Amino acid sequence: MSTLVGTGALGQRALREAWRTPEALFPTLFIPLFFLVVNVGQAGKIFPSDSTDFLQGQGYAAFQLPATLLLAASFGGSAMFLVEDIEGGYFDKLRAAPVSRTSIVLGRLYAEAVKGAGIAALVVLLSLPFDVRVATGVGGFLLLIVLTAIWSVAFSAFLQLVALRTRSAAATQSGSMLFFPLLFLTPNFVPRDLLTRPMEIAATLNPVTYVMEGMRALVLDDGWAKVGIGFAVAAVICAAMVALNVRTIRNYD
């Protein structure tokens, strides 16, 4: 069986699994929207759109939308399902089948990409009442969805790596906590040049910053160069994580 067919079959199974566990999907949507509402409620008046240059004429919610999307894309539920498969023995059942090892990890990541894109579209739709507009138009909206999906795969692949190496639900769950420092050591409240010097250095070293700025550039129409850098950083991290997943499952004992 080809890697592509195997990935498709296992991806469909992972999507069914996600659809049948709405309790796992709910926080993915609810928590990021909660942060959007709270952050805009707390800081919206500090940054009025008519006198805040970096908002490019939009409200503060538009500036916050990338952080919301990144948070929504960083729950990595697939890794917890993978640990369940490992602990319950189904993972061995899959490994005992003549299906490419790569398909076993890519199937779940394919499902994460679909889920990530769906959730991103929903988050953007739900943010419309906050006067958010994707200034780069329909094309920009689609690129925003794709960039969110790539990040979703990258972070899920990182958590899958933790799951494959530790085979432990607790360790995998702890791995997901890594995103919080990564998300908050970014220019998520103000642009990088308005951060204090130590925070600016931390944000500059943090790759999530570039993904966030790329998303923000799409929402605020803040330059295609930033969009390109955002895609490049997300793609490199995604490729590295997928490669490590493939290597780990090939050597899995």
Residues that bind another protein (CB under 8 A): 1, 5-6, 9-10, 13, 16-17, 20-21, 85, 88-99, 253
If the CB atoms of residues 84 and 200 are measured against another protein, the closer one turns out to be 84
Cα(163)–Cα(245) distance, rounded to whole angstroms? 10
In the bound state with another protein, the residue whose beta carbon lies nearer, of 85 and 112, is 85
Question: Residue 218 and residue 222: Cα distance in Å, rounded?
Answer: 7
Cα 65 to chain centroid distance, Å, stands at 13
Q: Residue 88, exposed/middle/buried by CB under 10 A (0-12, 13-18, 19+)?
A: exposed
Q: How far is the CB of 25 from another protein (least distance, A)?
A: 13
The H-or-E segment that residue 129 falls in is: none
Nearer to another protein, 9 or 232 (CB): 9
Cβ 98 to another protein, closest distance in Å? 4
**Residue placing its CB nearer to another protein in the complex, 18 or 132:** 18
In the complex with another protein, which residue's Cβ is closer, 99 or 145?
A: 99
Nearer to another protein, 101 or 216 (CB): 101
Minimum Å distance from CB 73 to another protein?
23
Confirm if 119 and 28 have CB atoms less than 8 A apart.
yes
Tokens read off for 47: 């940054």
Q: State the minimum distance, in angstroms, from the CB of residue 75 to another protein.
A: 18
CB of 186 to another protein, least distance (A): 35
Contacts of 142 (CB under 8 A, 6+ apart): none
142 close to 51: Cβ distance less than 8 angstroms: no
What is the C-alpha to C-alpha distance for residues 149 and 186, in angstroms, rounded to an integer?
20
Name which of 176, 54, 157 is nearest 111 in CA terms.
157
| 220 contacts 135 by C-beta, under 8 angstroms | yes
Considering only CA atoms, which of 137, 222, 158 is closest in space to residue 187? 222
Query: Residue 23 Cβ, how far from another protein at the closest point, in Å?
Result: 12
Our CB check for another protein shows the closer of 16 and 201 to be 16
Minimum distance of another protein from residue 24's CB (angstroms): 11
